[in-house]
A and B are shown apart, each in its own frame.
Chain A
Amino acid sequence: MSTTQATRKAPPVRPGDRVFAGLSTGAGILILVILAGVGIFLTAKGIPGILAKPDEVKSGQHFLPWVWPLVYGTLIAATIALLIAVPVAIGVALFISHYAPRRLGQIFGYLIDLLAAVPSVVYGLWGIQFLAPHMVPFYAWLNKHLSFIPFFGEPSATGRTILTACIVLAVMILPIMTAICREIFLQTPRLHEEAALALGATKWEMARLAIFPYARSGIVSAAMLGLGRALGETLAVAMVLSVTAGEVTANLIGSSNPSTIAANIALNFKESTGLSVNALIASGLVLFIITFLVNFAARALVERRSEFSGAN
């Protein structure tokens, strides 16, 4: 008697629940399988490339000295792109969510989202045919007045420099970062904002006291998503950047720039054979690991900060 009563009280499981639970579990597992698959492929194919002797690959170098300039270029490009894009993204998001009239803010939001729909090859074309030539006088000016800073050495005559590539990358990662920041800013509890204003805060102080602390982890997540795209962006960089193999330079406005890992693979894969292909895949593994590390670091940052953010 009692057992039948217990079963009757248990919540009924409908077929829909089962199907949906199965689907979502399957999707979760699928992500792991794909990630593991990519990781295993990169490792298995990459190891011969890492171990290859200099005379067996086209670069004629050991793996580490060969891949180091690429890692340097990748990190420099992504970091500067992020430095340019984060303040702009926060500013635009704040404008849309708190400053602009509601109607105008909406239109602005659409326009920003539109930027995200532009394919990277179009950004590449824009970079090489429009932005680069127009940056030349600016670079000459930088070199003339600020050449004591090592970033602004001998300027390029075509403007196809790593700084131009960074600007293109910054524009490309702007939409996703703005969209996330905007959503987070809009979720700031109304009471927090009103409390700040009631204490006599100006609008900027209100943003600083109520919105930013609340949104901090969201802003970091947005920046990490942007960084991920900047690290992995291939085509736009390959088109815009003038690269010299093995170059490591602080000069951001010169003709000789280090390539990025992704762009280097795209440029050299077509004509590579044998172990040179393995070396390229190994450099892909390095990018994979860098992206992982960056994400872990970001997670750690968000976790550590979340106690003070007021988001919980």
Chain B
Amino acid sequence: MNRNPLRYAAPTAAALVLALSLSACGASNESDSSDGASTGAAKVTGTLNAGGSTAQQAAVAAWTKAFQTTNSGVTVNYDPVGSGGGREQFIAGGLQVAGSDAALTDDELAKAKTKCKSDVVEVPTYVSPIAVIFNVKGVDKLNLSPKTLGGIFQGTITTWNDAAIKADNPDATLPATKITAVHRSDDSGTTQNFTDYLDQTSEGAWTGKAVQTWPVKGGEGAEGTSGVVAAVKGGDGTIGYADESQAGDLGKASIKVGSDFTAPTAAAASKVLDASEQVSGRAATDIAITVNRKVTDSAVYPIVLVSYQIACQKYDDKAQAALVKAWLTYVTSADGQQVAASSAGSAPLSSAFVTKAQTAVATIAGA
């Protein structure tokens, strides 16, 4: 009888391959968060699960690198799911620290307090100027008043030689090119902060309120900061808004503050916090800020994104508390702020705010 060995071998091999590939799917890398036993007082170990704001991602990467150099036993997982997702997962208990471009709302704060069984520590960690970028042939310097800016993004000012733009730039030769205003097509904290600025300062030229999703019809949408930058670069007569550090060699408009025009710089952006007020009626550890968009001091650049990190004041696990405390202490320190400034182009917190944040963070403890 002709018994070809292949007759057995082929199906067996097929079965093996299938089994192997299935088991490979099953063995995902489960992160080990149980080894939280801290050994020394200064050094912490364990796994910190954080996530949220995509704006903070580059800064968090830099912080993680530096933090792990001093604390070699630490793993920091930062999942850039977006600010809303970060706050939601923090409240659900999935994350120990959330990064968010907006402070917790009163409703969220109440839920977070219940989950933490304590107050919430909310500190600004990342302040970044939002630049108004433009690409117009023959124009390399542009001044814009808030009202003109609002009109451009609202769609009521449609050409570059409009009288309102001319009034802001008496010396420039402006072409008759059509204005293409580029906005974020995805939901974003950058849009939230930009529209908040327009809403407060444009004297009614902007009617879209302060929102995360671009509210006005017309204009051009692009995905993400890189998408906006690419779209502005690719067209003629385009204008958009993006993180100042991502703007590259595109022209950046100076914005009218008080009686003068201010360029978007990290130094001018970090001053805005000192000119702003904290949200009242919150715990001392909750440093939520209402950014003062209407400053009149022209050394201040008011279109900024303020991003927070949110943690519980009490953690059941002592080692966990020590880790979160060490992390936030580093992030809000002058050192940490400098690291973020040089790697992510953010504006470092002023020394007054560093002290404030450090005091809040110092209250974190194990239950």
Contact = CB atoms under 8 A, between A and B. Distances in A.
A15 B3 CA distance: 12
A176 B18 CA distance: 26
Contacts of B221: 241-244
B222 A242 contact: yes
B161 interface: no
B218 A256 contact: yes
Contact of A273 (B88, B213, B218, B230): B88
Contacts of B283: none
Interface residues of B, number: 41
B220 interface: yes
Given A157-B237, A158-B182, A243-B221, A19 B15 contact: yes
Contacts of B235: 133, 136, 156-159
A267 interface: yes
Contacts of A246: 217
A181 interface: no
B185 A128 contact: no
Contact of A16 (B7, B82, B212): B7
B15 A23 contact: yes
Interface residues of A, number: 35
A232 B125 CA distance: 39
B231 interface: yes
B52 to A, nearest CB: 10
A271 B231 contact: no
Interface in B48-73: 54
Given A133-B234, A271-B212, A244 B217 contact: yes
Contact of B187 (A15, A159, A238, A272): A272
Contacts of A251: none
Contacts of A80: none
Contact of B234 (A15, A20, A128): A128
A268 B186 contact: yes
A270 B187 contact: yes
A115 B334 CA distance: 50
Contacts of B18: 23
Contacts of A136: 235
A106 interface: no
Interface string A126-137: 001100110010
B220 A238 contact: no
A246 B214 CA distance: 12
B180 A157 contact: yes
A103 interface: no
Contact of A242 (B15, B54, B84, B220): B220
Contacts of B222: 160, 242
B85 interface: yes
A190 interface: no
Q: What 8 pairs across the A-B complex have the smallest Cβ distances?
A: A271-B187, A270-B82, A158-B235, A157-B235, A157-B180, A267-B186, A242-B220, A19-B11
Given A58-B187, A58-B212, A128-B231, 6 more contacts: A16-B10, A128-B227, A245-B217, A247-B217, A267-B186, A270-B84
Interface of B: 7-8, 10-12, 14-15, 18, 54, 81-85, 88, 177-178, 180, 182, 185-188, 212-214, 217-223, 227, 230-231, 234-238
25 contacts: A15-B8, A16-B7, A16-B10, A19-B11, A19-B14, A20-B11, A58-B213, A128-B230, A133-B235, A158-B238, A159-B235, A239-B223, A243-B185, A243-B221, A255-B218, A255-B220, A256-B219, A270-B84, A270-B186, A271-B186, A271-B187, A271-B188, A271-B212, A272-B187, A273-B88
